[in-house]
Structure 1
Amino acid sequence: MAAAAMSAPAAAQEPDHIRMGYIADYFGTSVAAIASDQGLWEKHGLEAELKVFTNGPIQVQALNAGSLDFAYIGPGALWLPASGQAKVIAVNALGYTDRVIAQPGIEGIEGLKGKKVGVPEGTSGDMLLRLALEKAGMTMDDIEAVKMDPSTIVTAFASGQIDGAGIWYPFVDVIGQRIEGLQELSSNEDFFPDIAFPSSFIVSDDMAGNADVIRKVNAVIKEATDFRRDNPEQSVKITASFLGVPEGPLMTESKLAKLPSSAELEELTRDGKVDNWFDTLAGLYTTFGKIEKPLPASEFYLGNLYAE
């Protein structure tokens, strides 16, 4: 009996438990949704506890408070890793979902001068608004910026309490269904290729030293992003089911990004192009007065792990 027990196979290794944040829109949720639907967490030795958030900065607060290990952020929140508050582990997508929108009759950025403009502070909507104002020879001082979360912007815009907003799809689509003649004044695409707007996945400082777990999370992210790229309609269906929302707005949002494959992103990382994207955005945050001395991307992007 003893010999038989000695020769029994070893018990399967326990999966690593992680807590990961996501945002309830297509690009903020699809990787987590696909990974759950396709069994990728289990495949790569992980047990994921998924938590929903409304924006990136709140997730970084959760990372720093020790209640989250990994998170998703849009390009507008990259200033937080660039200021040393988290580490980036992977690029998600190069999004064109952000817009500066205005009420009917306001046909240019200049038309927002002196107007009330809703903006979720520290987000990609905030960044695009600042870029669009700068391109028009204006600054935030030329408008009456009103800090709001995205859902409040939808309500305030629909009721005419604000004249414009720096916001993103699917919220733009929701507002457009309520406001006939909605004006889209600016898009991320207006600034490409000089400026790319990568959304990304980040890790807490406490977890940043655990290369083994990060490799497992990266493996899930790579497989899920490639699945999303190769199966766009199925990915929308999976994400809509995960969120319990209609597919239509997510389908619209899903088309508003460039989706490099994981192999392409590995090559872009090795070539230093991903570092250049992050460094350019960090420079913008300095211009906007968000941070004084951003870290170089080589210090906050764990590209060596992603490129393996």
Structure 2
Amino acid sequence: MNTACRVPVAASCSSTPHPAVLWRPGSSRQNMQRPDPADRIDHGARIRLGAAGTKNGFRGRLLGLAGVGALTALAVLTTLVPGPSQVQAHAADRGPATELKLGYFANLTHAPALISDSKGLLEGKLEQDGTGLEPQLFNAGPAAIEALNSGAIDAAYLGPSPALNSYISSKGNSLRIVAGAASGGASLVVKKDIAEPSDLAGTELATPQFGGTQDVALRHYLAENELLDDATVTPSSNGTLTQLFGRGAIDGAWVPEPYASLLVENYEGHRLVDESSLWPEGKFPTTVLVVAKDFLIEHPETVEKLVEANSEAIDWLNSAEQEEKIEAVQEALNAANGSSFAQPVISAALEEVTFAEDPLADTYQTLINHAAQVGIGEPGSADGLVDSRFIASQEH
């Protein structure tokens, strides 16, 4: 992986071509130009033929013959021109992509992306088809969604809330979730003198970004405890909120791993809320793998390679020895972000996260409702959001 431009999580690279991107390796490339979808043919048009009466004479017979000719032409056209479903299938038959632009975060909950990149799992699979890989680093989901919607990236690892919001606001046209990556690993870490939810009244709290998965979780938790108007929530980057917590400028933060463990291990914070305690069986999605809908339609072979690499990285994370896993995650974070975390922090963080391909789609409607209840995103349905065929092919 080309690491020509690295910056800390809280900063951005001045040469970055997209304002939301924190790090983009390699030289700038022109955006791929995707062909316009094929025009749809309406095969429902009907031609009416009236019977020629005695008064119509030869002219009536000519009209009848013309009608028969039109029907014949329409039949030929129907045979030769594909219908809408065939047009979409043809649009999908574009072969592997020239390049895959993939976004992810320097978080432990994105370890499948980090391991896949550092070990060359995805890059190796894409090279078989002549497809290049351009990784891009983000701080939080809304920024990644902005890049995905603008075409700056083709796929991303991110939290489910921004993906759900994008899907609903675009009426299902923006993206699809093709796999899960991680569940668990998010907590509200606070100062020691905050012992119960009522102590949050009058506090200053933080999340990685407004509208992100942890931001929605914190605001919904405050609303459920009738504290939404009594606490201040300020979105800040993970790196910045860590510094703010260390200086005592904020009282707590709802953050993913390894930042939750970092606040506990290095800054004397404690977990007031482990988000797993709020979900049935303790399962909730922290990171999912999404692909732009147009890219998925046009390059399913490339998406399949992406899901394959994700599966292999998850398998490695779940089978490697603890010490080997900690070392690999530290190296991957350092390569992606220019810095890493101490062994005790990574070790504690790994205990909080489960890596799995299951996107936990049963939780999505609840997440949509939570976001709508606190005024982030629109109400709607998650039906059709998950494209499970790629995961199914891995299982076979």
TM-score band by shorter chain is 0.7 to 0.9
The answer on whether the counterparts of 1:34 and 1:238 sit within 8 Å (CA) in structure 2 is: no
The answer on whether the counterparts of 1:64 and 1:204 sit within 8 Å (CA) in structure 2 is: yes
Length-normalised TM-score, structure 2:
0.65
| Letter paired with 1:174 | L
* Cα separation, 2, equivalents of 1:236 and 1:17: 31
Pick from 363, 371, 376: which aligns with 1:290? 376
Pick from 51, 55, 59: which aligns with 2:140? 55
Q: How does 1:86-125 map to 2 (within 5 A)?
A: 86-95=175-184, 97-120=185-208, 121-125=210-214
The answer on whether the counterparts of 2:113 and 2:310 sit within 8 Å (CA) in structure 1 is: yes
* Cα separation, 2, equivalents of 1:190 and 1:131: 14
Q: Structure 1 residues 304 and 49, CA, compared in 2 at 3 Å: closer, same or farther?
A: same
The answer on whether the counterparts of 2:104 and 2:157 sit within 8 Å (CA) in structure 1 is: yes
| Map of 1:5 onto structure 2 | none
The answer on whether the counterparts of 2:216 and 2:376 sit within 8 Å (CA) in structure 1 is: no
| Letter paired with 1:238 | A
Q: Structure 1 residues 133 and 18, CA, compared in 2 at 3 Å: closer, same or farther?
A: same
* Cα separation, 2, equivalents of 1:43 and 1:37: 12
The answer on whether the counterparts of 2:181 and 2:288 sit within 8 Å (CA) in structure 1 is: yes
Pick from 340, 343, 351: which aligns with 1:255? 351
Deviations 1:81-104 (A, max 9, x none): 442443211100212x21112222
Pick from 380, 386, 391: which aligns with 1:301? 386
Q: Structure 1 residues 147 and 27, CA, compared in 2 at 3 Å: closer, same or farther?
A: closer
| Map of 1:4 onto structure 2 | none
Deviation at 1:213, TM superposition (A): 1.5
The answer on whether the counterparts of 2:195 and 2:272 sit within 8 Å (CA) in structure 1 is: yes
| Letter paired with 2:354 | K
Q: Which SS does the other structure have where 1:42 is aligned?
A: helix
Unaligned runs of 5+ in 2: 1-94, 335-339
* Cα separation, 2, equivalents of 1:294 and 1:148: 28
| Map of 1:128 onto structure 2 | 217
| Map of 2:279 onto structure 1 | 192
Q: How many residue pairs are counted as aligned between the two chains?
A: 282
Runs of 4+, deviation exceeding 4 Å: 13-16
Q: Which has the larger radius of gyration?
A: 2
Q: Structure 1 residues 191 and 82, CA, compared in 2 at 3 Å: closer, same or farther?
A: farther
Deviation at 1:280, TM superposition (A): 2.4
Deviation at 1:177, TM superposition (A): 4.1
Q: Structure 1 residues 246 and 178, CA, compared in 2 at 3 Å: closer, same or farther?
A: closer
| Letter paired with 1:100 | L
Q: Structure 1 residues 43 and 197, CA, compared in 2 at 3 Å: closer, same or farther?
A: same
Q: Structure 1 residues 194 and 140, CA, compared in 2 at 3 Å: closer, same or farther?
A: farther
| Letter paired with 1:253 | A
Unaligned runs of 5+ in 1: 1-12
Q: How does 1:168-247 map to 2 (within 5 A)?
A: 168-180=256-268, 182-193=269-280, 196-198=283-285, 199-209=287-297, 210-231=299-320, 233=322, 234-244=324-334, 245-246=340-341
The answer on whether the counterparts of 1:154 and 1:171 sit within 8 Å (CA) in structure 2 is: yes
| Letter paired with 1:98 | A
* Cα separation, 1, equivalents of 2:259 and 2:389: 35
* Cα separation, 2, equivalents of 1:227 and 1:211: 24
| Letter paired with 1:129 | L
| Letter paired with 2:355 | L
| Letter paired with 2:108 | Y
Length-normalised TM-score, structure 1:
0.81
| Map of 2:149 onto structure 1 | 64
Structure number with greater CO (CA < 8 Å, separation at least 6) is 1
| Map of 1:79 onto structure 2 | 164
Q: How does 1:35-46 map to 2 (within 5 A)?
A: 35-37=117-119, 39-43=121-125, 45=128, 46=131
Q: Which SS does the other structure have where 2:153 is aligned?
A: coil
Asked if 1:165 corresponds to 2:247, the answer is: no
Deviation at 1:35, TM superposition (A): 4.7
| Map of 2:226 onto structure 1 | 138
Deviation at 1:24, TM superposition (A): 0.5
* Cα separation, 1, equivalents of 2:143 and 2:96: 30
Q: Structure 1 residues 258 and 173, CA, compared in 2 at 3 Å: closer, same or farther?
A: closer
Could you tell me the percent identity over the aligned residues?
21
Deviations 1:52-105 (A, max 9, x none): 11111111111122111111112343433442443211100212x211122221
* Cα separation, 2, equivalents of 1:236 and 1:101: 22
Pick from 22, 25, 34: which aligns with 2:116? 34
Deviation at 1:242, TM superposition (A): 2.1
Q: Structure 1 residues 43 and 99, CA, compared in 2 at 3 Å: closer, same or farther?
A: same
Deviation at 1:196, TM superposition (A): 3.5
Deviation at 1:146, TM superposition (A): 1.9
- Greater helix share, 1 or 2? 1
* Cα separation, 1, equivalents of 2:377 and 2:282: 18
Identify the range of structure 1 (59-68 vs 287-296) with the bigger mean alpha-carbon deviation. 287-296
Deviation at 1:21, TM superposition (A): 1.0
The answer on whether the counterparts of 2:107 and 2:256 sit within 8 Å (CA) in structure 1 is: no
Identify the range of structure 1 (125-134 vs 104-113) with the bigger mean alpha-carbon deviation. 125-134
